[in-house]
Structure 1
């Protein structure tokens, strides 16, 4: 098989993974033996011996033009040098060391800044993902049929999956559901630690999250920039906390805050004004309906609709919806009023979607 010239950069954040590093890098270098890759490895303040292992085994390979990487019988990595002057014709390893642990997001951001490839991949080093799946994602994005962004998904393909913690799975699915609503996407796994995108995408986003919220930061920035996110099913082998898993229930709770932050706060002034105006309009409209608990539910529903229309930048569509709902509410009382309002609301949504498509 001929080597592929479209240079790939693989961003690999590492924190306290000493027991897995030899196996991880052996699998990784083997998977990409027929490709030229820019490996960007970030030691994020490890103190379990990972930093020493990287210094002994990876640092001697760094900043060299590499034709081939292979493992000797005594479990040491050796290289064959390349004489090529073309960036796309040799492998390269870059090693970045953080003096202290500052977070996965910081490691990813610093790695992306150093990356040289046309395609940028983020791959966790915890062995929960199969390196062969990452290769498939790279080869898939090269053909251009799935766009400029591909996320891995642990829920979309008949591959080996081992999910240890039900609450983690539940939180991830709820986060993904909220992400899809607030960012007009249709994916199944926002938190997958295996992602790839083109340099053109990277030029359009500005990442700022230093912790585990980097996955949400990346997904929201990409969606806001107008890129569609495709998915490829990947294998998944969840670790236990005893084995070194680092995500906790607190991270799961914080993720809801981050979704709110990235959707309703981290926008330009114009978008924020439109969102808040739409939500306020929805609030005023909701207070018009019903009494007691009915009024509360109607208000929550209208504020939610207002946020969706504000996010979509469709204030005209929101006004159309409000007018139709107010007209529908004039028909009868009780269930008749609710039924009439619902019919008018769905009619308005249909018409506003038509208007949005025409304006695009």
Structure 2
């Protein structure tokens, strides 16, 4: 939550980047007009709002948060294209004058932790047919209260309303994940354990959802099947045993970190003997977890998974594990309710 000492939000004017250009490349002209890569020239009616990309400064902000601006732009395009379905926003076109300009405030309807504000801006930049101005009142990772204004955007009213739902869908989803993660982080506060996510993410949105986990105070597990190995029960069956599975991964991919899932105490020592980097304790009770921690005695990192809830998180952390793995952070987190409130304005 922002404090009374927080400096007031300052307007930021965003230009539009021709599609295909990348951060650091200077656009020929701002907005859709002479020199714009969309080819609209001065013929606004001929402009396709989906042909212009992200503002370079916005792309830099996304990259600074560990997000790929090109991927965010792709997600934004997909969201808007899905909503328009090769047509137009018939309600908005019919009810809003073409020249109308307004400011829209993105407002929290409930308390939570925010994530995805720059992603919402990216969606709007895909839709907007003119330069638009934003005021950033909070940052991703901030905790907010009901009624708090998160982001204000001034642009053509039609564009703002057309992009409203696509922007909110992503912002509410990511903020919901950040809020759920923050609850787990709070439950583990004061211990050495950290909450982290899994690959149980929405197809196509993994990097965004894992970013939201970071905003909520969690840490990320592997991003893909290729950056680390996780030997689970089916791999053990296929390989003929836990130690055998571990050995085969080490032989085939010697430089890859290896985590091994075990569901019994007697499986731990053979895995340690092979040199496991991390052991996942699957469906252990807090008492069995404490036994495992004593047995490992710091020779590998330990992660708890299964039978976990906010009510039991502290017991597992107190048992001494390094991580608690929570798939629900991404597969079951409810959205954070955020709305857009329009403030009609006149352009001077």
Q: TM-score range by the shorter chain?
A: under 0.3
The structure in which a higher percent of residues are helix is: 1
> TM-score if structure 2 supplies the norm length?
0.26
The structure with higher relative contact order (CA 8 Å, sep 6+) is: 2
